[in-house]
Amino acid sequence: MAARRSTVKTEFEIVMSPKQTGAFRRLLLRWYRKNGRDLPWRRTRDPYAILVSELMLQQTQVATVVPYYKKWLRQFPDFAALARASQQDVLRAWQGLGYYARALNLRDAARIIMQRHGGEFPRAIDQMQQLPGIGKYTACAVASFAFNQAAPIVESNTARVLARLYNLRESIDSQPGRAHLWREAARLLPRNNAAHYNAALIDLGALVCIPRKPRCGICPVRRFCRAKNPARLPIEKSLLRTKRVVERHAFVVRHGRILLEQSSQRWRGMWILPPLARGRFRPSPAGKRAIYRNDFPFTHHRITLAAYSCSGPKRIAPSQRWFRSIDRVPMPSPHRRAAQALFANASPRQERRGAASA
């Protein structure tokens, strides 16, 4: 079988004739009809609901997304409802999913759709990509699943399937590798019934052609696969080494209230324990050692959140507020866990320290 060669020395085997391509599609769709996952966003052609699911599914597992998706649609059933929502309501509904820029981009997109598109989601892929937070994959996914357009999709599951199917020896997160995947995804895509085909390819990757230990024995299209060692594919660039970071924050209570700060950086509008900036907070003599520590991952970092008992500032910053209860305050999970543990057990001595300089 001849291999496609390029100036970047990429090995990408051409394995299917048009007749074989038709057989591949039929076998894949037959398997999908029997084994495909019953997911709530597959029961609708509403572009809003599908866009919500696609943004929630970015870097988040399906099992985690399902309850958030259902609750979100109850609270914000369409673009109009989301466009009217406050930032705090949106962040509170997204709380726990992480990567909060996705939620804010979704609300910004809803407002643009209401203002510039009369409440109708655009059908053209290039117009979709002009909306906040919508890249090539998301636009193609909405075009396919909402409008049944013949738009190829390449995400983690389909990339793995295609890399093994064609024995791709190029890194899938390199420019040449991505270009190969998108080209071959488009070549395999049927003109009709694209939505079911794309869903089938995703589920094949999620259920059968899985990472590390692919279930090749039950693969419905294994006779088309040219991977010599499927478990070693796809090839990815060397992962960045995890960096360990310690982030220090102040725990301040006063008259039964806790001081929080609205983040303008990583947490994008969520409320957090105030950073322990030099000169802003003074750890008490007993608070020179952290009273709370907890580790959490964030992209390529392993972060230790360390909280210190501090005296309150003489004047709080515009981004800070006192809260008597944090139950309905949108907070990232690491800071919520810290605040709940500390606030529930705040001692009268900490209360006095917080009020001393406030």
- Give DSSP secondary structure letters for 207-274: HTS-SSS--GGG-TTGGG---SSGGG-S--PPPPPPEEEEEEEEE-EETTEEEEEE-SSTTTT-EEPP
DSSP state at residue 40: G
pLDDT at 306: 94
pLDDT at 284: 67
CA 323, 74, 193, 210 torsion-angle sign: positive
pLDDT at 6: 41
Cβ–Cβ contacts within 10 Å for residue 237, how many?
Answer: 10
| Residue 310 · residue 250 · CB < 8 Å | yes
pLDDT at 14: 58
pLDDT at 345: 77
pLDDT at 252: 93
The set of catalytic residues is 54
pLDDT at 314: 80
Specify the pTM.
0.86
pLDDT at 299: 74
Mean pLDDT by 10 residues, the chain (358 residues): 42 74 97 98 98 96 97 98 97 93 97 97 98 97 97 97 95 93 96 96 98 96 95 84 89 93 88 82 72 88 91 86 94 94 72 48
pLDDT at 348: 54
Task: Give the domains, in start order, of the chain with CATH numbers.
Answer: 243-356 (3.90.79.10)
pLDDT at 149: 97
